[in-house]
Amino acid sequence: QKEVEQDPGPLSVPEGAIVSLNCTYSNSAFQYFMWYRQYSRKGPELLMYTYSSGNKEDGRFTAQVDKSSKYISLFIRDSQPSDSATYLCAMMIQGAQKLVFGQGTRLTINP
């Protein structure tokens, strides 16, 4: 079983839709969860960071963590064409330095 699993998509939705992106993980030692956005031929850009179960909101973005189910989500409200990118989930064990990434989901928002 892969440590972090993420559906690579592609996912295509109309502008204004709510987008739901998800990752599952197998290692219960993961304590820190992040979502990165990556545009083509660019480095990952940190969107959201959380370390506890529950929801964290930042503007149109909401990160959700369910440690009991080993499942994390990113919701994008009122999606815009500029949100079109690859979204990567990433996780880290406390005290470690290594980020473990998911495969990334390629998202396209159609005007």
User: Which parts of this chain interact with other proteins (CB under 8 A)?
Assistant: 31-32, 34, 36, 41-46, 49, 51, 88, 90, 92-104
Please give, one letter per residue, the 3-state secondary structure of 24-76.
EECCCCEEEEEEEEECCCCCCEEEEEECCCEEEEECCEEEEEECCCCEEEEEE
Tell me which H or E stretch contains 92: strand 85-93
55 contacts 48 by C-beta, under 8 angstroms: no
Radius of gyration of the chain from Cα atoms? 13
Select 45 or 66, whichever has its Cβ closest to other proteins. 45
Supply the minimum distance, in Å, between the C-beta of residue 108 and other proteins: 17
Supply the minimum distance, in Å, between the C-beta of residue 99 and other proteins: 6
Select 17 or 100, whichever has its Cβ closest to other proteins. 100
Supply the minimum distance, in Å, between the C-beta of residue 14 and other proteins: 27
CB neighbourhood size of 69 (10 A): 10
Supply the minimum distance, in Å, between the C-beta of residue 87 and other proteins: 12
Select 51 or 61, whichever has its Cβ closest to other proteins. 51
Select 18 or 96, whichever has its Cβ closest to other proteins. 96
